[in-house]
Amino acid sequence: MEPIKIFAIAGALRAGSFNRKLLKVAVEKAKGASVDFADLKEFDLPLYDGDLEAQGLPPGVVRLKERIAAADGLLIATPEYNWSIPGTFKNAIDWASRPPSNPFRGKTALIMAASPGQFGGMRSLLALRQVFVTLGLFTIPQQVTVSFADNAFDESGQLIDPKLDAQLQKAVEAFISVTSALKNRN
Amino acid sequence: MEPIKIFAIAGALRAGSFNRKLLKVAVEKAKGASVDFADLKEFDLPLYDGDLEAQGLPPGVVRLKERIAAADGLLIATPEYNWSIPGTFKNAIDWASRPPSNPFRGKTALIMAASPGQFGGMRSLLALRQVFVTLGLFTIPQQVTVSFADNAFDESGQLIDPKLDAQLQKAVEAFISVTSALKNRN
Amino acid sequence: MEPIKIFAIAGALRAGSFNRKLLKVAVEKAKGASVDFADLKEFDLPLYDGDLEAQGLPPGVVRLKERIAAADGLLIATPEYNWSIPGTFKNAIDWASRPPSNPFRGKTALIMAASPGQFGGMRSLLALRQVFVTLGLFTIPQQVTVSFADNAFDESGQLIDPKLDAQLQKAVEAFISVTSALKNRN
Amino acid sequence: MEPIKIFAIAGALRAGSFNRKLLKVAVEKAKGASVDFADLKEFDLPLYDGDLEAQGLPPGVVRLKERIAAADGLLIATPEYNWSIPGTFKNAIDWASRPPSNPFRGKTALIMAASPGQFGGMRSLLALRQVFVTLGLFTIPQQVTVSFADNAFDESGQLIDPKLDAQLQKAVEAFISVTSALKNRN
């Protein structure tokens, strides 16, 4: 049985993003999976504009769609801006969903969030789940929110709270189990 | 391989409920599955009250929890009241989720809604999905909303619109496929 | 100028409810307003059932509708059950919204939540806001969530955290100011 | 009494946007108000990036913040992308909310949506309301959704459906009434 393929991306452009840190910890726990760890920045996406799209999909959009299409499941870590998905990240999702194909359909997703505040990006995840329904993603119920994210990681980038780390471990295991079961079903 | 077990319930007490009709159509399409078709009324649930719970779970709650626990997946059709889940149905969910056990965890769900209005219960489904996340349900992205439900069924109880019927067929098939894959994973 | 009238209710039946405590603190801050402090229990509401409604509104529903109709604004404190509005409370809202009249329309609302968990009922408030839109309520953006509610109140029922208490004070003042402005507009 | 000032903007960049059409119809109904009709394109916003922000707010962001700050209320028409706010528009909101000041706080908003589909952007409005809560906006409960927007406007740009037009008229009147009452309160 070939290993499942995961596309991992954080919904932020900032180099020191807490969510990229969180994503790295999650990826380390995805033993046995083949992970494509992307940086949102590398796709150099413009803001979505129907008039721009009419001239053809920008090259970064084409690459983003291909990378998503190649995966069995998505590992996502997103900031929360104003109680919802960052516009920057939603813009990437909007572009990736454009015709001729929906690369999200039928794949699984594990969603996570880190934020400096008390709610740990919870509201961003609630908003993201709604978006992922129409994209046809199986977003598993397990999710991880990291509150007070500026103090949540140690110098080596690991989660300081062992309970949170164990929760992430279990979430990643559930994600891999479900992704594998859905990939290999008849 | 034993057939999957489905617990089917509509989130309304009214005898002529559109959602019970919709649920019946869905159940007919669940070929090969073993379906426990419940009526919310038969559990005779009181309104949730922490003081009442302290005296022990009411017998209807115990029965509801057992019937859910026995299933691999849930087939749900719910009305929309005031842009959300009916209190009547949410009350049943709240009771069923109470300790000592969460019978929902790890099961799959297909959610549907019928309403007399233009939006077909869409907002009730969005609200229900959020609830099902914390219950640990794998709610599949496929869903069905039936708008103008008072004119959506023929005299034999079938959906008049063939496109909608085909969409329901596909949703039920996806539900069975996912439920089966998750039940039989290693 | 006559004082504004407030209908205050907590969305729980339990006698020791944290939300009733929170509501009391809020009511004490509503200086100069005339407050009708209700107990959800006194309306003795059945579960909503369209067949029951067809026999006439239950007396408790009629009383609840009248008490809401008499107010200029609503002061609400609600628990969170399963990431949403308690079924018990949603049931009361569903009944109160039934014809012949919508007593909520055009009134203001301040919504609050207390919960034993980290998120303080935030998700219940998000869900409640959506419901209040279709009811025609002006729910002010200020809101208060009390996390770890089992340790949030002192023996006299006051909020222990002075920052939270000040936030509640400001929210109540904004609520009274907006309610008064909307009541007295031409 | 000076007229209220309205900042009107559609959440799309496309020149032929249905939402800009809808916004124009709404603005025509805002008799007696002073309207600043903006085009999202004129601010030439980059995608939000914390590292970019650290170098100072882009000039378009500064202008957008000033134009919002000068208004008493916001008139918004937004598309729905993937059951939520377009990334393009959310990005504008995210930038405008950045320090040193929140120009949204205390203002009113009327939100509208037009979409080619059956749901008329309803889910985008639900998502937008949540964002507007944390920004401190009084989003009035009245809202307008235009379904099947590609056939909703006549050649002169008016809404073909007289019922929908009347609903928009009432919503704009409520918006002006509330905005005026809140602006002129003591």
Does A82 contact D92 at a Cβ distance shorter than 8 Å?
A: no
Q: Does D1 have pLDDT greater than 90?
A: no
- Considering only the beta carbons, identify the residue of D14, D17, D49 that sits closest to A88: D49
The conformation of residue C169, written as its DSSP 8-state character, comes to H
Which stretches of chain B score pLDDT less than 50? Answer: none
- Chain A interface includes B133 (CB < 8 A): yes
Distance CA B62, CA A66 (A): 49
CB B61 within 8 A of CB B97: no
Sign of CA dihedral D172, D178, D181, D184: negative
* A chain contacts of residue D58, beta-carbon cutoff 8 Å: none
Residue closest to C34 by CA, chosen among C176, C139, C137, C182: C176
Report pLDDT digits (tens) over C90-143. 999 999 999 999 999 999 999 999 999 999 999 999 999 999 999 999 999 999
Report pLDDT digits (tens) over D127-181. 999 999 999 999 999 999 999 999 999 999 999 999 999 999 999 999 999 999 9
* A chain contacts of residue C152, beta-carbon cutoff 8 Å: none
By the 10 Å C-beta count (0-12 exposed, 13-18 middle, 19+ buried), A72 is classed as buried
Q: Residue A34 CB: number of other CB atoms within 10 A? A: 13
Chains that touch D (3 or more CB pairs under 8 A): A, B, C
- Chain C interface includes A147 (CB < 8 A): yes
B162 to B147, B159, B167, C123, D117: CA distances (angstroms): 14, 7, 9, 38, 19
Q: What is the rounded average pLDDT of the residues D63-68?
A: 98
Tell me the residue type at A29.
K
What does chain D come to in residues? 186
Q: Which of C82, C115, C119, C163 to mutate to test the interface with A (most CBs of A within 10 A)?
A: C119
- Chain B interface includes D167 (CB < 8 A): no
At C2 the pLDDT is 82
Q: Indicate which CATH number applies to the domain containing D88.
A: 3.40.50.360
The alpha carbon torsion through C10, A123, B120, B47 (nearest 10 deg) reads -30
Beta strands D5-10; C138-146: pairing state: unpaired
At D8 the pLDDT is 98
Query: CA angle, A151 as apex, A145 and A156 as ends, to 5°?
Result: 95
Residue B54 contacts by C-beta under 8 Å, 6 or more apart in sequence? none
Does C129 contact D130 at a Cβ distance shorter than 8 Å?
A: yes
At A2 the pLDDT is 82
Which pTM does this prediction carry?
0.97
CA-based nearest distance B127→chain A, Å:
10
Beta strands D34-37; D5-10: pairing state: parallel
SS3 A179: helix
CA-based nearest distance C36→chain B, Å:
23
Mean pLDDT of chain D: 97
CA-based nearest distance B38→chain A, Å:
25
Does C122 contact A119 at a Cβ distance shorter than 8 Å?
A: yes
At C186 the pLDDT is 61
Does D181 contact C181 at a Cβ distance shorter than 8 Å?
A: yes
Distance CA B118, CA B146 (A): 9
Report pLDDT digits (tens) over A10-54. 999 999 999 999 999 999 999 999 999 999 999 999 999 999 999
- Chain C interface includes B78 (CB < 8 A): no
Residue C6's φ and ψ, nearest 5 degrees, are -115, 135
Does C132 contact D126 at a Cβ distance shorter than 8 Å?
A: no
- Chain B interface includes D127 (CB < 8 A): no
**What is the arrangement of strands in the sheet containing D5-10, beginning at the earlier edge strand?**
D34-37, D5-10, D73-78, D108-114, D138-146
Q: Does D186 have pLDDT greater than 70?
A: no
Chains that touch A (3 or more CB pairs under 8 A): B, C, D
Angle, in degrees to the nearest 10, between helices B162-183 and A162-183: 120
SS3 B21: helix
Report pLDDT digits (tens) over A122-174. 999 999 999 999 999 999 999 999 999 999 999 999 999 999 999 999 999 99
* D chain contacts of residue A135, beta-carbon cutoff 8 Å: 82
Strands (E), chain C: 5-10, 34-37, 73-78, 108-114, 138-146
Q: Chain B residue with minimal CA distance to C51?
A: B14
Does C134 contact D141 at a Cβ distance shorter than 8 Å?
A: yes
If pLDDT is split at 50, 70 and 90, which confidence band does A186 have? low
Angle, in degrees to the nearest 10, between helices B162-183 and B18-29: 60
Q: Does A1 have pLDDT greater than 80?
A: no
Does C126 contact A122 at a Cβ distance shorter than 8 Å?
A: no
The alpha carbon torsion through B122, A108, C127, A120 (nearest 10 deg) reads -160
Mean pLDDT of chain A: 97
Does C88 contact B50 at a Cβ distance shorter than 8 Å?
A: no
Q: Does C1 have pLDDT greater than 80?
A: no
Enter the tokens of residue B103: 């019978």
The conformation of residue C184, written as its DSSP 8-state character, comes to T
By the 10 Å C-beta count (0-12 exposed, 13-18 middle, 19+ buried), B83 is classed as buried
The number of distinct structural domains making up chain B is: 1
Residue closest to C44 by CA, chosen among C85, C7, C80, C95: C95
Q: Does C29 have pLDDT greater than 90?
A: yes
User: What domain range includes position A63?
Assistant: 5-183
* C chain contacts of residue D141, beta-carbon cutoff 8 Å: 132-139
DSSP H or E segment with residue B114: strand B108-114
CA-based nearest distance B3→chain C, Å:
30
Beta strands A108-114; A144-146: pairing state: parallel
Distance CA B184, CA B6 (A): 15
CA-based nearest distance A51→chain C, Å:
33
Does B147 contact D118 at a Cβ distance shorter than 8 Å?
A: yes
